[in-house]
Structure 1
């Protein structure tokens, strides 16, 4: 590797010793100042390291659909790829509901990010970013906690006192793909007592809770009143995730648990609650009605225009919860589990970055990242470059902000945490993966800015249970068994690795032939 001519061998050796010293790298003044009082040779060593690199360093924040897809598509011969994420795997989220009931095993829907052959992977949370110095402050996360990403995100909010080890990572180009989390809307008890369904840890906890409730209900000391509460499964959110989980749960009960706990079937109930006047709003009325008719035939209750006000433990029933529904007045509904799948909130890092005021080198103007007024996401241009606006204009109406925005050099945004200016797109895996592929392709060709991103809608699918589904696209609409075949085929072909393209149909076949594994461990 080349060395910097201005530094002697002795000086370089001294700088190497200093760089390894915790004293040289730690300063109580805070992030962005730790090198302010360091010896001159330390700064020279940092410059030499940057000059020695033969490839531009691209740092990717996040290992979801956007971050993983981008890292997978970026040319490693042209760029040094570094990923920072609190989890060391990618989750194929469309099949997550199946793992929560045992149709699939958890590892069949995950992909280890280290197998991408990255130059570096750091398991941690991006705590802050210094855009002027192109440095990311990272908090290490090697915990084995399987708690929901939403709970972990709130626990590890940037700026909180309870932190892991901190270290810095430099970048030449930065891709922000941190995604979003479940929105609790400030409803009492949701964060503490509801189960989210956005990660394999969530699915594992739900699977354990469902089986645990059946075991509790089967005990001879459990009253019928408590059995009814334990075996009431409440799902909040009538979007694809909530509907698919209700369908998968019904399959588990009908195909497997019925034969294991036949005496308990009269106590089982599944209810989907949603504040909207209809569920599955992304589908037209015909397909949505088909879904509801099927649920009605299977005994799954769907209650629209119902507002959950509170979730709390039931002191009289171990493992039970009480739900306060606005439309039910003072009456509280008993439930054994609440699966929450409605609304999205921005990653705490995004909120922190949008509140920052910074100055770029060679400019005295104070700038801020442009924030979308509706979603709170970071605004990008059509080429996925992050927009910034003068700090003085941040309080002006969105039209005024749009007129004054400029792009932040070498910083890009993809996925749920961003919004493309003058473009309304859903926060879906399909959008995130297409954005990631587009940006990687443009960087590989070195012509970012020459071709704006265009979303190609490949359609929307939802599983309804019992080998039926619905599918809608600009080309056609399908329902029933044919839509189910398309649903499984599409998700199988979209599985990232060859290994999972084999293991997913294998587990589907095993579940069909022998039933789901209902052991609890």
Structure 2
């Protein structure tokens, strides 16, 4: 009898060892052709987090990896320490000083770079549009009035399963449908925005450094190009105007002294006063400090349009024309507009809230064994003012049936800028988002312990603890307000830097940030364009 090569090889092995091979579990599995594997009874629950901002990143870091499989889905593979974003846009800090890579979160972490396109709450799956091939630090996407994200080509779609879902996808900058904002304004929400702002500021000074003449910019053109308009009198707009003023008069003024007479920084706000979260005394101190620095603040001014300037100034140099309501038909020239006027809902929120969802209390369509509650068709509850998703005090997504019967989804949570707690609206700040993430992580970690037989007292509903508000005013001055005290000037600036340094997420950046502060103070800010 002729043996196959495999049989010949086996015959050359001693009988005792042949018996071990023929009786091995691996051979039995191959011969039976049964490749089905049962799910490990001890497998961890999968918690999928949509977003890598303050809410999503803080939750991913705090959630216990020994109890949960953590999956983060975000269009950017990093977290941005947004309070210092304005500093990077003027070269005080380098961009990587305020970034934290998602994949460096301690413990095993899963990550998919992409946009959450849709959610199927019945099948517990998320449809994700991948964007790993795109530039991660892309320009802030501001949806047009129709709600579509952009006109870019759609990426590949993949399905991601979840056991628990945390929606922390944040919000977008609010443009109020004003003409030209999406096309011509600069936002300050991501590291890509900061980089473009930095390049634009340096480019404007370089363009205006050419000598005057018929073939170059006129004196009037330079005044327009070196007018920096900030729309929005909140902390972001005020801090960026202050950081820009520091850059111009501490660094650029030494290299372009002949251009300083043309420089102008203006802050426009539709409200009667800027910094509305501060009391009147601190807001007045901030405005007086700005006036001493030459920064013009215009309250009760409404921007109606942004467009390219007429002629060569707009075509060759990107100059802008700003139409201000209080000025009638007169337009104001500017070289740059930084937009910081509030937030609007993420398009994903609008998409999932506009549809009805068939939700089963338990898997396989079974009813709740305690209440007998069958599957129901529900809608997510949306806050009419902000467009965010309504939650209960434990940050669970609220739902409502056609009969107007309210409920919650026990496996879906909403935190951060896209969440609105019922009867307790909170400001859309990093402080609120981080505290919500910490609260939810503790709740989920505690629940896992209780399911393992270790009973602990359930935590109360989420309560926000306000640690105070800080705003930098430039020139080593700041303001700080909390329930305990109110500070202004140099002392508040020390508190401002100390608070942001201690809140940095990684020890790497806790070390790098003060080093770059010192480098900028001794050697000046980085002004290279690249």
TM-score, normalising length: structure 1 = 0.87
2:279 counterpart residue number: 284
1:382 counterpart residue number: 393
Contact 1:354–1:368, Cα closer than 8 Å, also in 2: yes
Residue 391 of structure 1: how far off its partner (Å): 3.8
1:340 counterpart residue number: 339
Residue 12 of structure 1: how far off its partner (Å): 5.2
Q: How does 1:95-114 map to 2 (within 5 A)?
A: 95-114=84-103
1:470 equivalent to 2:506? Answer no
Mean Cα displacement is larger for which, 438-447 or 448-457? 448-457
1:167 counterpart residue number: 158
Q: Select 2:491's aligned residue among 476, 482, 497.
A: 482
1:520 equivalent to 2:515? Answer no
Q: Which SS does the other structure have where 1:218 is aligned?
A: coil
1:272 equivalent to 2:267? Answer yes
Q: Which SS does the other structure have where 2:359 is aligned?
A: coil
Q: Which SS does the other structure have where 1:359 is aligned?
A: strand
1:22 counterpart residue number: none
Residues 21-56 of structure 1: per-residue CA shift (max 9 Å, x gap): xxxxxxxxxxxxxxxxxxxxxxxx8xx55x666100
Residue 99 of structure 1: how far off its partner (Å): 0.4
1:431 counterpart residue number: 432
Residue 11 of structure 1: how far off its partner (Å): 6.8
How far apart, CA to CA, are the structure 1 residues paired with 2:104 and 2:300?
45
1:132 equivalent to 2:122? Answer yes
Contact 2:229–2:267, Cα closer than 8 Å, also in 1: yes
1:250 equivalent to 2:241? Answer no
Q: Which SS does the other structure have where 1:452 is aligned?
A: coil
How far apart, CA to CA, are the structure 2 residues paired with 1:340 and 1:94?
16
Q: How does 1:184-203 map to 2 (within 5 A)?
A: 184-203=175-194
Residue 314 of structure 1: how far off its partner (Å): 1.1
Contact 1:292–1:302, Cα closer than 8 Å, also in 2: yes
1:232 counterpart residue number: 227
How far apart, CA to CA, are the structure 2 residues paired with 1:12 and 1:141?
37
Q: Select 1:81's aligned residue among 70, 73, 77.
A: 70
2:17 counterpart residue number: none
Residue 358 of structure 1: how far off its partner (Å): 1.0
How far apart, CA to CA, are the structure 1 residues paired with 2:257 and 2:486?
38
Contact 2:75–2:136, Cα closer than 8 Å, also in 1: no
Q: Which SS does the other structure have where 1:366 is aligned?
A: strand
Residues 80-139 of structure 1: per-residue CA shift (max 9 Å, x gap): 000000000000000000000000000001100100144310000111110011111100
1:20 counterpart residue number: none
How far apart, CA to CA, are the structure 2 residues paired with 1:155 and 1:513?
49
Contact 2:145–2:177, Cα closer than 8 Å, also in 1: no
1:147 equivalent to 2:138? Answer yes
Q: Select 2:377's aligned residue among 360, 366, 369.
A: 366
Contact 1:156–1:162, Cα closer than 8 Å, also in 2: no
Contact 2:46–2:162, Cα closer than 8 Å, also in 1: yes
Contact 1:153–1:348, Cα closer than 8 Å, also in 2: no
Q: Which SS does the other structure have where 2:48 is aligned?
A: strand
Residues 228-263 of structure 1: per-residue CA shift (max 9 Å, x gap): 011000000000000000000000001001110000
How far apart, CA to CA, are the structure 1 residues paired with 2:460 and 2:81?
29
How far apart, CA to CA, are the structure 2 residues paired with 1:157 and 1:10?
52
1:506 equivalent to 2:515? Answer yes
Q: Which SS does the other structure have where 2:445 is aligned?
A: helix
Which structure 2 segments of 5+ residues have no match? 1-28, 366-373, 451-456
Residues 376-408 of structure 1: per-residue CA shift (max 9 Å, x gap): 110110011111111453xxxxxxxxxx32111
Q: How does 1:408-423 map to 2 (within 5 A)?
A: 408-423=409-424
Contact 2:114–2:131, Cα closer than 8 Å, also in 1: yes
Q: How does 1:398-417 map to 2 (within 5 A)?
A: 404-417=405-418
Residue 148 of structure 1: how far off its partner (Å): 2.4
Residue 160 of structure 1: how far off its partner (Å): 7.9
Mean Cα displacement is larger for which, 51-60 or 79-88? 51-60
Contact 1:83–1:118, Cα closer than 8 Å, also in 2: no
Contact 1:252–1:516, Cα closer than 8 Å, also in 2: yes
How far apart, CA to CA, are the structure 1 residues paired with 2:90 and 2:78?
21
2:59 counterpart residue number: 70
Q: Select 1:497's aligned residue among 493, 501, 506.
A: 506
Residue 150 of structure 1: how far off its partner (Å): 2.6
How far apart, CA to CA, are the structure 1 residues paired with 2:94 and 2:151?
35
Residues 180-209 of structure 1: per-residue CA shift (max 9 Å, x gap): 110010000000100000110000000000
Q: Please identify runs of 4+ aligned residues in structure 1 that moved more than 2 A.
A: 7-13, 145-162, 361-365, 447-450
How far apart, CA to CA, are the structure 1 residues paired with 2:504 and 2:292?
32
Q: How does 1:292-331 map to 2 (within 5 A)?
A: 292-316=287-311, 317=313, 318-331=317-330
Contact 2:382–2:389, Cα closer than 8 Å, also in 1: yes
TM-score, normalising length: structure 2 = 0.86
Contact 1:68–1:113, Cα closer than 8 Å, also in 2: yes
Q: Select 1:93's aligned residue among 68, 71, 82.
A: 82
Q: Which SS does the other structure have where 1:149 is aligned?
A: coil
How far apart, CA to CA, are the structure 2 residues paired with 1:407 and 1:440?
18
Instruction: Specify whether residues 374 and 154 from structure 1 end up closer, same or farther in structure 2 by C-alpha distance, changes over 3 A only.
Output: closer
Computed over aligned residues only, the root mean square deviation of the Cα atoms, in angstroms, reads 2.1
Instruction: Specify whether residues 76 and 145 from structure 1 end up closer, same or farther in structure 2 by C-alpha distance, changes over 3 A only.
Output: closer
Contact 2:114–2:129, Cα closer than 8 Å, also in 1: yes
How far apart, CA to CA, are the structure 2 residues paired with 1:320 and 1:380?
45
How far apart, CA to CA, are the structure 2 residues paired with 1:389 and 1:501?
45
How far apart, CA to CA, are the structure 2 residues paired with 1:141 and 1:336?
32
Q: How does 1:52-71 map to 2 (within 5 A)?
A: 54-71=43-60
Q: Which SS does the other structure have where 1:349 is aligned?
A: helix
